[in-house]
Amino acid sequence: MDKNIKLNGEITYNGKDRSTVLETLPRDVAYVNQIDEHYPRMSVIETFEFAHRCCAGKELEPWVIDALKSTTPEREEHAIKVMTAHHKFTPDLMVKKLGLDNCKDTIVGNAMLRGVSGGERKRVTTGEMLVSKKRLQLLDEISTGLDSAATYDICKSLKSAARNFNVTAVISLLQPSPEVFELFDDVLLMHGGMIMFHGKREDAVPYFESMGFHCPPRKDVADFLLDLGTNKQVAYVEDDSGTVPYQSAEFADRFRESNIFQTALKRFDISIKEELFTHDVKPFRLTFIEEVNTLLRRELKLKSRDTAYLMGRAVMVIVMGLLYGSTFWQMDDANSQLILGLLFSCALFVSLSQSSQVPTFMEARSVFYKQRGANFFRSGSYVLAISISQIPMAIVETVVFGAITYWMGGYVDAVDRFVVFLVTLFLCQIWYTSFFFFLSSASPNLTMAQPVMMVCVLFSMLFGGFLVAKDGIPDYLIWIYWMDPLAWCIRALSVNEYLAPKFDVCVYEGIDYCTEYNETIGEFSLGVFNLPTDSMWIWYGWIYMIAGYFVFVFVSYFVLEHKRFESPENVAVIADDEAA
């Protein structure tokens, strides 16, 4: 189409505008990818319950209750009672319909964590969308990685679930076996973007035989249908009198002229139940607060079950704290290089150790894409829940590590100074946590995220104000120093230490600093590293790190909402058989 040609018009669905439909479409339509993406430490029933909670809620929606209204109060009450019970136990019913009773409480697992089998995991993928009350299920090549027996069991379970839950399932399969093919009610045959046939399964072979194609007795019907429209179809032509179609466009034209197509058009003209489509469906089932609570409970549950990570972090925090504390045991207060060296090491450890969560964030991102695409929850509620779930561990790590290094290092013996020390380290840690979460959200993959992360870590260390003092940084790079949260953290920690009454003296260890340098020992020690001597810089540092934390939380939300790094799992260039 030429660039100077413009198309005008509107697209409606049941009288609703296209933009309105797109907002609420995920509430009715579910897409099941061929790749199983789940949280490996959640059990089968927990996965179903979470999906049901997000998409169906705890109670029936008002429009469902209105649709159940009957002529008599007794029948209406009975219908509502039955639907309420069905709604409440939907996850358990789905477990039974999909044949997952034996692994109901087993974790889903993945390649690194043992859980359910491959076939069972595929059923979990399907059930997650079925249990969320989607009336149309689109399943893409669900047989990937499964044998014919597992594929048959899954398709049979899907058929049973579709019958019992009154949903429509559209499944694309690669070379289905005869047993699997027999399970389907309808067949949709496409080639080159053209619909060659769409109708009852048992009508497919007679339809093409009427065109002059013959399916051999021992030939699988599915394989026979897949060969049509390609250069392999000549083997099935009985009498080529010039009326047999060869191109996919010819098949499509013949189908539009068929009685099967005309009958389908008449079905579309049948009036629908207005109450099923005129109700006001919101894009999300839960409110924002309900989503945050649901997601937060899930995140805390997942963290509590990752015992290997928790134990590893606990050992690392304690060992590193003891290592730093013993190395800098009861330092000489007059040696500002040692004092600031330990402060720099503490800030560096609690902040940059959060980089280990980047792979975890990116692994969870694929699950987020799937569930956000299905309108399980809002992007904002997900980001907020993730951010809140990081705080408890950050507090524990900061308190344990900070208590060991502060008192073993011999810093000022004052509770208020110790509290400021802990708060500063905590704020620095959550700043970097939010930054690494943003990096995980904005990077296409881990291969690109890791180099960027290492460069950021390097710049943060170099411009932190300890390895290179402020006066040693070139003017054209000084802006990095003022943007570096590590520098703000070190300034706040240093000011907190050296402005204590202990260092607000002129004579210290026989040296009169006021006479020789016109400064107290605290001001002199800060001046060695070009650090300020005003206690307000503690507040400035806190404000900067808090503001930076919220900025990265917001930009993470913005990226996750508007940019998705989703791509086809398998990309191939296939030659057109018709052009061969």
CA nearest to 366, candidates 128, 565, 562, 140 = 565
Nearest to residue 189, comparing CAs of 146, 230, 236?
230
DSSP conformation letters of 298-354: HHHHHHHH-HHHHHHHHHHHHHHHHHHHHHTTT--TT-HHHHHHHHHHHHHHHHHGG
Please give the DSSP secondary-structure letter assigned to residue 100: -
In angstroms and rounded to an integer, the radius of gyration of the C-alpha atoms of the chain is 33
How is the chain split into domains, by residue range? Answer: 33-184, 187-281, 288-562
Helices marked H in 230-306: 248-256, 259-268, 288-305
Q: Give the whole-angstrom CA distance, residue 178 versus residue 201.
A: 12
Interatomic CA distance for residues 158 and 166, integer angstroms: 11
Measured CA to CA in angstroms, residue 538 lies from 203, 356, 549 at distances of 79, 28, 17
Adjacent-strand bridge partners of 509:
none
Alpha-carbon distances, residue 202 vs 102, 107, 160, 187, 222 (angstroms):
35, 40, 20, 9, 12
Task: For 369-386, give the DSSP string.
Answer: HHHHHTTSS-HHHHHHHH
DSSP state of 215: -
Q: What is the pLDDT along the chain (580 residues), one digit of tens a residue?
A: 556 777 788 887 777 777 777 777 887 888 888 788 899 999 999 999 999 999 887 777 666 666 666 657 777 777 777 777 777 888 888 888 888 888 999 999 988 889 888 888 888 888 888 887 777 888 888 777 677 887 888 888 888 877 876 778 898 887 888 898 899 999 998 888 889 999 898 998 898 888 888 888 888 888 888 888 888 888 888 766 667 888 888 888 888 888 888 888 887 776 665 555 555 677 888 899 999 999 999 999 999 998 888 999 999 999 999 999 898 888 877 777 888 889 889 998 988 888 888 888 988 999 999 999 888 999 999 999 999 999 999 999 999 999 999 899 888 888 999 999 999 999 999 999 999 999 999 998 888 888 998 998 899 888 888 888 888 888 889 999 899 999 999 999 999 988 888 877 787 666 777 777 777 877 888 888 888 888 899 999 999 999 999 999 999 999 999 988 876 544 444 444 443 3
Angle at 194 between CA 188 and CA 197, to 5 degrees: 35
Give CA–CA dist 285/56, Å, rounded. Answer: 6
Task: Report the CATH fold assignment for 33-184.
Answer: Rossmann fold (3.40.50)
Query: Between helices 336-352 and 521-528, what is the axis angle to 10°?
Result: 60
Token pair 């002059």 in the structure block, residue: 212
